[in-house]
């Protein structure tokens, strides 16, 4: 039988058991918050190793991105789940002469891409420090990307990109990051993580 | 037969008929007209103006590769007097029921102005940006494998019926005959019963399997011709009015002739492989024409021999005949000249035996024929009129019907005569010698008939060669005559005309070239290949017959002897036994010499394969050599298959019902499962992929093959993925339009 | 003359239950909600009723409010009809809704960002992921609201915990349903199934937490019982959300990929009936044990 006490108001005092139960629930809540963030990061920022012995490239690219070796690049990975422009990271090696400079290379890239990409625009170049403290040249640019299939209707997307150019011996390594412009800041950490783990 | 047996027989016949009918029905179901229409483009040739391009010519074309190679006519794409534009704009039928939309610019890759065929490639977008061919995945059609379309075959002709105002259309017809020309033999043209609008020229004609078997072709006549149609669309002179003072777009009349796909194949092969041939020894420019083009000397022959020469000449044809050839001489013709043959039977125009206006595919001067074969000729009085640029030039008449047998000469064969009097040699190309014999058949001759034999070289009778006498050799048999020159006959082209009662009874051509090699001519020698950095180096480099992969260019060299200028010779190049280049041209180098140089180049490198060079005169082979590059075999083009099932569809959000933009659809090869792909995310596992547009629409541009099990993976940001293994299409499927609903995760 | 006195026993009086019968209310509300939602589905998705967009939006808003309206009619109004009504029921509902909108949804969308990584994860990761993100966050918020607005003062009987946690569940689920209706603008049939499932999952999870709260108030369980019920409630979400989405999710064939929403409905009904009846049994057993213990102690004195 349930005991009813009428006319006597409990002022909310908790027993020790109740208090500890409550604390345990709070601790559980905080723990789950931290574990959730950790789980999110471990999945969002999970990486897959990649190695090309002939090119001398070792890298870790984001897990779940589509790996492609079939073009004129060492490899390219794209996030195919993105609704707009498929975020792309690409590593390319171009033979150069001993007299070539990063500026020559970037000028060539600009001239080539200006003919392929719509509204291609390059911004001032800057020095970029890699994780091994060597210096590279970084250049940011934007262009407009559209659907290649003429039978489909797509709105073009403004794409922001960054190229990191490193000259070594008789080759230039160009690491490219391209993403929808409105997500550039949000997804740039992914590229930063990639650069930190990139070895060539 | 008993009643029971009759019944069984009837049932069997009925079953056979039904089976045949179902086979026909199944075959007609194979024609994927939607895909063919999407692969048909509208081409506008234009010239740049300060403000906007000015359209100079229009026509249809067909995509023949997924990376943007388009087959069309040359007359409205290659710049010429009638179509002087230098810009090619390609419009596609983005929506099948609407007029085409200009999307790309194209460049000419290969063209044969004589055959009026051109292959152009999409190179830029409308705003001038370069298009990387590998990024294109356009619908395309395949050429029919067989070179032998049959009479009464049903055709579907697809093209644009108007100057871009209407959607792509199709016209049905059947094959009613074939037209012969020296450039292509008995099937130089396919005649169809369909009435094809002139702007469909350059489109495609398809069999019931959806394979391209011909290109509707007509060349519009010059604007100042009384029969021309020329439309004014733009104010090209800037006077504020679009009227007859402005440039107009020439439009051809109704078409009933198709260029067979067999002519396209070599051009297509060279274009898709990026191969080019250069002649580095002699200039190949033709001499400027010095007068107006003319036709003359019309006569008829019932058939042609293997050298393309008339077997005999006739003035009438017996009932039931199935072939007829009109021979004529031509002068001052160019590849831009438009010629036409109109045929009437008892005064009624009959398009079956004529030829609608087409570009000239012969040389500058010489002999030509237009004929028909495998086609019963009705009895009647035939009038044939040749037109040049829309103006009547010459005509001839022939009676088909019962006729009295008349004296005739036929089947002239040339050769070197042995002691026994036998003619030896290959008949029409003989080594330079002092005596040449000609043997011919005679029929229905009457002793006493006046007959003559005249030898001609270079258009002029050879002095002292004429034979004129009364016939004394009986009613029928063979006779041999000779021409001699003690110092040796000069190399070059000869002709023998035989007359009966001052009427040309037979004629045939002969080429003398090369030194004697037994009974045959040795014209070309030491044919070999090499590689070098320059032409001079190639002339002294050692012969090579196996080249490494990534070779940039290959030189082909040969020696020659006793080859007179203007002698027609044919160069043919093959890769893996497939022709990719053939050209017949007048010899313009010295009579005898060494190291005639040609060079073959590729887009970046020479593709791997086995290359063969053939040198011919009068279709007879006189020199050949092969060489291997790389592995000696062309790599397999995994995108060249046009048979299969196309998958298109729409991806929707389950809850909103709207299309999901940017969703990715992957079709995984049979070697991997969906789970493998989701684990590895490797492009090598992907057979085909597509991304949805803003409406959720997608199109897989690679066709699925029956009897192969694919896996599907569909992903989109924020949605649960859909996977499926073991997906298989059936041969009866054509284009599948699939709705897919994704659930938010 | 002799007279004898006779005692007249007073008439037996039935004991009047002074509280609203919670289980009956929940069952009635759930049943009506199910009937209306299924009816909407049949009307719009099976029969194919078409309405102008403005009417559809009105119906959608009505559907979102339906669980709360039913609760008003069969829970809150009935509280006023009993002799010992529960206090602050409406307060719990409103505060939970506000907390869901202000805290729960922003954390899910901006901190956890589950749309970016959970849909494409494998099944075990999805189960654990939904449990520790969506499930834990939602149950912690609901628990905290109940804890600081009613516990322990207003917990007079065990079933008070059920009443308050269900009110909290309705507050949270209503906000989720409203957000769903406004962002997808889907048809009433599909919305109805979604509303029923969301409400059912929250009620089921809340019943587990209610048990923990009531035991802690009226018995002497281990301190870990309440956290355990919160964990189980989170797991309910972790199991229910991916399971339902996975069952609804279309398969693929060359004729198309069509969803199966009725499978999701079956999951919701199954969980509601299964867990609900289990929890009702547990509550009844706890009540009986308490009554027997009280009777024992009464007899011993």
Q: Which of C118, C254, C257 sits opposite B741 (nearest CB)?
A: C257
The string of DSSP codes covering B201-247 is TTSEEE-TTS-EEEEE--PPPPTTSTT-EEE--S--S-SS--STTS-
Which residue on chain A is closest to B700 by alpha carbon? A149
Say yes or no for a CB contact (<8 Å) between A32 and C234. Answer: yes
Is the preceding omega at residue B517 within 30 degrees of 0, hence cis?
A: no
- The Cα of B617 is separated from the nearest Cα of chain C by a number of Å equal to 57
> Between A and B, how many CB-CB pairs are < 8 A?
80
In a domain, C296, yes or no: no
Say yes or no to pLDDT of A64 above 70: yes
For residue B612, list its beta bridge partners. Answer: B574, B626
Report CA Rg, chain B: 30
Say yes or no for a CB contact (<8 Å) between B727 and C120. Answer: no
Return the residue matching tokens 């359209």. Answer: B55
Which residue on chain C is closest to B714 by alpha carbon? C252
Structure tokens at A125: 């170049």
Structure tokens at C225: 């019982």
pLDDT of res. B13: 46
- The Cα of B721 is separated from the nearest Cα of chain C by a number of Å equal to 6
Say yes or no to pLDDT of B3 above 90: no
Say yes or no to pLDDT of B420 above 70: yes
Which residue on chain C is closest to A46 by alpha carbon? C117
Close Cβ partners of B326 (under 8 Å, ≥ 6 residues apart): B298, B299, B300, B341, B369, B370, B371, B384, B396
pLDDT band at B519 (very low <50, low <70, confident <90, very high): confident
> Between B and C, how many CB-CB pairs are < 8 A?
82
In a domain, C300, yes or no: no
Which residue on chain B is closest to C126 by alpha carbon? B745
Pairing of strands B593-601, B101-112: unpaired
Which residue on chain B is closest to C194 by alpha carbon? B655
d(CA C187, CA B307) in angstroms, rounded, equals 77
Q: Which of A83, A151, A155 sits opposite B717 (nearest CB)?
A: A83
The pLDDT of B321-337, averaged and rounded, is 91
Return the residue matching tokens 């699939």. Answer: B738
Partners of A1 on chain C (C-beta within 8 Å) are: 290-291, 294-295
In a domain, C198, yes or no: yes
Say yes or no for a CB contact (<8 Å) between C259 and B654. Answer: yes
Say yes or no for a CB contact (<8 Å) between B655 and C190. Answer: yes
Say yes or no to pLDDT of B573 above 70: yes
Phi and psi of B26, rounded to 5°? -60, -40
A153 touches chain B (CB under 8 A): yes
User: What are the distances in angstroms from CA A8 to CA A4, C85, C201?
Assistant: 10, 16, 37
Partners of C231 on chain A (C-beta within 8 Å) are: 28
- Determine the distance from the C-alpha atom of residue B455 to the mean position of all C-alpha atoms in its chain, rounded to a whole number: 35
In a domain, C5, yes or no: no
The pLDDT of B604-629, averaged and rounded, is 91
Q: Which of C118, C184, C255 sits opposite B745 (nearest CB)?
A: C118
Give me the domains of chain B, ranges plus CATH numbers: 2-29+642-742 (2.60.40.1120), 33-273 (2.40.10.120), 294-400 (2.60.40.10), 408-517 (2.60.40.10), 523-629 (2.60.40.10)
A155 touches chain B (CB under 8 A): yes
Say yes or no to pLDDT of B498 above 90: yes
The share of chain A scoring above pLDDT 70, in percent, equals: 94
pTM of the model: 0.80
Partners of A82 on chain B (C-beta within 8 Å) are: 662, 717
Of the two residues B735 and A142, the one the predictor is more confident about is A142
Q: How far apart are the first and last CA of chain C?
A: 47
The pLDDT of A56-84, averaged and rounded, is 93
Residue among B422, B359, B377, B372 at smallest CA distance from B219: B359
Phi and psi of B316, rounded to 5°? -150, 165
pLDDT of res. C120: 85
The pLDDT of B689-713, averaged and rounded, is 92
Interface of A with B in 41-70 (CB under 8 A): 63-70
Which residue on chain C is closest to B724 by alpha carbon? C252
Q: How would you classify residue B618: left for phi > 0, otherwise alpha for psi between -120 and 50, otherwise beta?
A: left
Burial class (CB in 10 A: 0-12, 13-18, 19+), B474: exposed
Residues in chain C where the model's pLDDT stays below 50: none
In a domain, C93, yes or no: yes
Partners of A62 on chain B (C-beta within 8 Å) are: none
Burial class (CB in 10 A: 0-12, 13-18, 19+), B546: exposed
Close Cβ partners of B379 (under 8 Å, ≥ 6 residues apart): B319, B400, B401, B402
d(CA A158, CA A182) in angstroms, rounded, equals 8
Say yes or no to pLDDT of A11 above 60: no
In a domain, C141, yes or no: yes
The pLDDT of B329-333, averaged and rounded, is 90
Say yes or no for a CB contact (<8 Å) between C184 and B655. Answer: yes
Q: Which residues of B touch C (CB under 8 A)?
A: 647, 649, 653-657, 712, 714-715, 717-724, 727, 729, 733, 736, 738-745
| Residues B34-71: tens digit of each pLDDT | 889 999 999 999 988 777 788 899 999 999 998 999 99
pLDDT of res. B1: 47
Lowest mean per-residue pLDDT among A38-42, B10-14, B627-631: B10-14
pLDDT of res. B695: 93
In a domain, C262, yes or no: yes
B497, HSE (Cβ side, Cα atoms, 13 Å): 16
pLDDT of res. B288: 60
Please report, for chain B, how many H helices and E strands are present, in that order: 5, 51
pLDDT of res. C258: 84
Which domain covers residue C246, as residue numbers?
20-250+258-287
Mutate to test the interface with C, among A14, A21, A47 (most CBs of C within 10 A): A21
The string of DSSP codes covering A180-198 is EGGGHHHHHHHHHHHHHH-
- What is the predicted ipTM? 0.89
Partners of C111 on chain A (C-beta within 8 Å) are: 36-37
Pairing of strands B524-530, B553-560: antiparallel
Partners of C118 on chain B (C-beta within 8 Å) are: 745
The pLDDT of B318-325, averaged and rounded, is 91
Which residue on chain B is closest to A82 by alpha carbon? B717
The pLDDT of B130-136, averaged and rounded, is 87
The share of chain C scoring above pLDDT 90, in percent, equals: 63
Say yes or no for a CB contact (<8 Å) between C226 and A24. Answer: yes
The pLDDT of B4-29, averaged and rounded, is 43
pLDDT band at B7 (very low <50, low <70, confident <90, very high): low
| Residues A15-27: tens digit of each pLDDT | 888 899 999 999 9
- The Cα of B697 is separated from the nearest Cα of chain A by a number of Å equal to 7
The pLDDT of B493-507, averaged and rounded, is 91
Say yes or no for a CB contact (<8 Å) between B691 and A117. Answer: no
Mutate to test the interface with B, among C254, C256, C260 (most CBs of B within 10 A): C254
pLDDT of res. B745: 78
For CA atoms B103, B109, B112, B117, the dihedral sign is negative
A22 touches chain C (CB under 8 A): yes
Burial class (CB in 10 A: 0-12, 13-18, 19+), C210: buried
Say yes or no for a CB contact (<8 Å) between C255 and B718. Answer: no
Q: Are B66 and B270 in contact (CB under 8 A)?
A: no
d(CA C211, CA C203) in angstroms, rounded, equals 12
Partners of B701 on chain A (C-beta within 8 Å) are: 149
Say yes or no for a CB contact (<8 Å) between B137 and A148. Answer: yes
Alpha-helical regions (H) of chain C: 22-41, 53-71, 77-81, 89-99, 105-106, 114-117, 123-130, 136-149, 158-184, 188-218, 225-248, 261-300
A66 touches chain C (CB under 8 A): no
Q: At what angle do helices C136-149 and C158-184 cross, to 10 degrees?
A: 130
Say yes or no to pLDDT of B16 above 80: no
How much is the mean pLDDT over chain B?
Answer: 87
Say yes or no for a CB contact (<8 Å) between B655 and C252. Answer: no
Which residue on chain C is closest to A40 by alpha carbon? C112
Residue among A137, A140, A131, A113 at smallest CA distance from A198: A131
C140 touches chain A (CB under 8 A): yes
How many structural domains does chain C have?
1
Residue among B380, B360, B225, B222 at smallest CA distance from B293: B360
Partners of C137 on chain A (C-beta within 8 Å) are: 32-33, 36
In a domain, C127, yes or no: yes
d(CA C35, CA A145) in angstroms, rounded, equals 50
């Amino acid at each position: 039988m349930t005991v009813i006490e009428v006319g006597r108001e409990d002022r909310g005092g908790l027993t020790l058991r109740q208090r500890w139960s409550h604390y345990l629930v709070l601790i559980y809540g905080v723990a789950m918050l931290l574990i959730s963030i950790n789980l999110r990061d471990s999945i969002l920022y999970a990486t897959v190793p990649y190695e090309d012995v002939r090119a001398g490239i070792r890298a870790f690219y984001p897990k779940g991105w589509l790996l492609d070796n079939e073009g004129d690049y060492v490899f390219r990975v794209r996030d195919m789940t993105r609704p707009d422009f498929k975020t792309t990271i690409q590593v390319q090696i171009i033979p150069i002469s001993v007299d070539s400079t990063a500026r020559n290379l970037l000028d060539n890239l600009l001239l080539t891409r200006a003919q392929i990409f719509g509204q291609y625009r390059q911004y001032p170049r800057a020095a970029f420090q890699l994780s091994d403290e060597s210096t590279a040249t970084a250049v940011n640019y934007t262009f407009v990307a559209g659907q290649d299939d003429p039978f489909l209707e797509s709105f073009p997307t403004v794409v922001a990109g960054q190229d990191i150019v490193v000259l070594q011996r008789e080759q230039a390594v160009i690491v490219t990051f391209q993403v929808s412009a409105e997500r550039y800041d949000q997804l740039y950490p992914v590229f930063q993580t990639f650069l930190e783990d990139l070895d060539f | 037969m008993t009643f029971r047996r009759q019944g069984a027989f009837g049932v069997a016949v009925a079953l056979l008929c039904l089976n045949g009918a179902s086979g026909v029905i199944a075959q007609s179901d194979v024609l994927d007209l939607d895909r063919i229409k999407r692969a048909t483009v509208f081409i506008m040739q234009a010239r740049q103006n300060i403000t906007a391009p000015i359209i100079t010519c229009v026509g249809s074309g067909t995509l023949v590769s997924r990376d943007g190679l388009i087959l069309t006519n040359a007359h409205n794409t290659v710049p010429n007097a009638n179509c002087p534009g230098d810009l090619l704009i390609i419009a596609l039928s983005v929506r099948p029921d609407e007029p085409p939309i200009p999307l790309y610019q194209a460049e000419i890759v290969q063209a044969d102005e004589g055959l009026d065929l051109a292959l152009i490639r999409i190179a830029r977008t409308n705003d001038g940006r370069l298009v990387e061919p590998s990024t294109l995945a356009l619908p395309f059609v395949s050429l029919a494998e067989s070179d032998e379309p049959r009479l009464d075959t049903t055709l579907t002709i697809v093209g644009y019926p108007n100057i871009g105002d209407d959607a792509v259309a199709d016209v049905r017809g059947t094959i009613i005959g074939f037209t012969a020309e020296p450039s292509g033999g008995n099937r130089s043209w396919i005649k169809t019963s369909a009435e094809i609008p002139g702007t469909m020229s350059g489109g495609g004609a398809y069999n019931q399997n959806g394979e391209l078997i011909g290109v509707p072709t007509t060349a519009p006549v010059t604007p100042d011709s009384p029969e021309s149609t020329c439309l004014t669309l733009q104010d090209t002179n800037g006077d504020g009015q679009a009227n007859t003072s402005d440039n107009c777009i020439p439009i051809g009349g109704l078409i009933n002739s198709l260029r067979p796909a067999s002519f396209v194949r070599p051009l297509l092969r060279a274009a898709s492989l990026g191969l080019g041939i250069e002649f580095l020894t002699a200039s190949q420019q033709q001499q400027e024409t010095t007068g107006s083009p003319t036709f003359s000397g019309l006569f008829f022959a019932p058939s042609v021999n293997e050298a393309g020469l008339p077997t005999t000449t006739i003035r009438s044809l017996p009932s039931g005949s199935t072939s007829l050839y009109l021979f004529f001489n031509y002068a001052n013709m160019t590849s831009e000249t438009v010629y036409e043959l109109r045929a009437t039977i008892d005064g009624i125009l009959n398009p079956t035996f004529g030829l609608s206006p087409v570009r000239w595919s012969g040389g500058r001067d010489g002999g030509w024929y237009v004929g028909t074969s495998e086609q019963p000729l009705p009895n009647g009085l035939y009038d044939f009129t040749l037109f040049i640029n829309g103006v009547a030039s010459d005509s001839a008449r022939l009676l088909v019907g019962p006729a009295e047998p008349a004296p005739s000469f036929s089947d002239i064969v040339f050769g070197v005569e042995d002691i026994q009097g036998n003619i030896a040699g290959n008949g029409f190309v003989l080594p330079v010698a002092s005596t040449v014999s000609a043997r011919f058949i005679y029929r229905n001759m009457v002793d006493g008939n006046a007959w003559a034999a005249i030898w001609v070289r270079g258009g002029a009778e050879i002095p002292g060669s004429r034979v004129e006498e009364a016939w004394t050799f009986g009613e029928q048999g063979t006779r041999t005559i000779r021409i001699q020159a003690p110092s040796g006959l000069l190399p070059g082209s000869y002709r023998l005309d035989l007359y009966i009662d001052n009427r040309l009874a037979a004629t045939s051509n002969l080429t003398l070239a090369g030194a004697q090699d037994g009974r045959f001519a040795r014209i070309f020698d030491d044919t070999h290949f090499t590689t070098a950095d320059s032409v001079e180096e190639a002339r002294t480099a050692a012969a090579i017959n196996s080249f490494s992969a990534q070779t940039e260019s290959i030189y082909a060299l040969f020696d020659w002897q006793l080859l007179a200028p203007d002698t027609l010779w044919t160069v043919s190049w093959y890769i893996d036994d497939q022709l990719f280049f053939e050209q017949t041209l007048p010899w313009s180098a010295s009579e005898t010499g060494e190291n005639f140089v040609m060079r073959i180049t590729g887009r970046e490198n020479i593709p791997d394969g086995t290359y063969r060079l053939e040198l011919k005169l009068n279709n007879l082979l006189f020199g050949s050599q092969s060489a291997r590059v790389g592995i000696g075999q062309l790599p397999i083009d995994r995108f060249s298959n046009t048979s299969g099932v196309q998958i298109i569809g729409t991806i929707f959000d389950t809850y909103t019902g709207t299309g999901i933009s940017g969703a990715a659809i992957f079709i995984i090869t049979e070697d991997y499962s969906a789970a493998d792909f989701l684990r590895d995310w490797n492009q090598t596992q992907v057979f085909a992929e597509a991304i949805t547009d803003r409406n959720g629409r997608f199109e897989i541009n690679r066709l699925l093959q029956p009897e192969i099990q694919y896996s599907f993976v569909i992903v989109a940001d924020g949605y649960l993925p859909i996977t499926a293994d073991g997906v298989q299409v059936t041969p009866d499927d054509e284009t599948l339009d699939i709705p897919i609903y994704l659930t938010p995760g | 003359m002799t007279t004898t006195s006779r005692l007249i026993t007073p008439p037996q009086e039935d004991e009047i239950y002074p509280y609203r019968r919670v289980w009956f209310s929940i069952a009635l509300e759930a049943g009506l909600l199910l009937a209306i939602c299924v009816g909407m589905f049949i009307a719009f998705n099976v029969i194919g009723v078409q309405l102008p967009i403005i009417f559809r939006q009105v119906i959608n808003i009505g559907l979102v409010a339906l669980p709360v309206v039913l609760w008003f009619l069969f829970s809150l109004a009935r509280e006023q009809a009993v002799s010992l009504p529960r206090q602050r029921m409406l307060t719990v509902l409103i505060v939970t809704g506000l907390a869901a909108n202000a805290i729960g949804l922003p954390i899910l969308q901006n901190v956890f960002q589950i749309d970016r990584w959970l849909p494409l994860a494998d099944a075990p990761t999805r189960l654990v992921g939904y449990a520790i993100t969506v499930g834990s966050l939602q149950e912690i918020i609901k628990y905290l609201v109940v804890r600081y607005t009613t516990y322990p003062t207003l917990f007079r009987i065990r079933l008070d915990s059920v009443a308050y946690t269900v009110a909290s569940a309705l507050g949270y689920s209503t906000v989720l349903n409203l957000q769903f209706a406004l962002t997808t603008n889907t048809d009433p049939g599909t919305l109805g199934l979604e509303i029923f499932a969301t409400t059912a999952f929250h009620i089921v999870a809340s019943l587990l937490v209610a048990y923990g709260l009531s035991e802690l108030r009226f018995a002497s369980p281990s301190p870990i019982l309440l956290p355990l019920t919160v964990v189980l409630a989170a797991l309910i979400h972790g199991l229910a959300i991916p399971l339902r989405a996975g069952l609804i999710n279309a398969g693929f064939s060359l004729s198309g990929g069509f969803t199966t929403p009725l499978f999701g409905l079956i999951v919701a009904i199954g969980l509601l009936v299964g867990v609900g009846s289990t929890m009702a049994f547990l509550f009844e057993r706890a009540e009986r044990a308490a009554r027997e213990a009280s009777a024992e102690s009464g007899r011993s004195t």
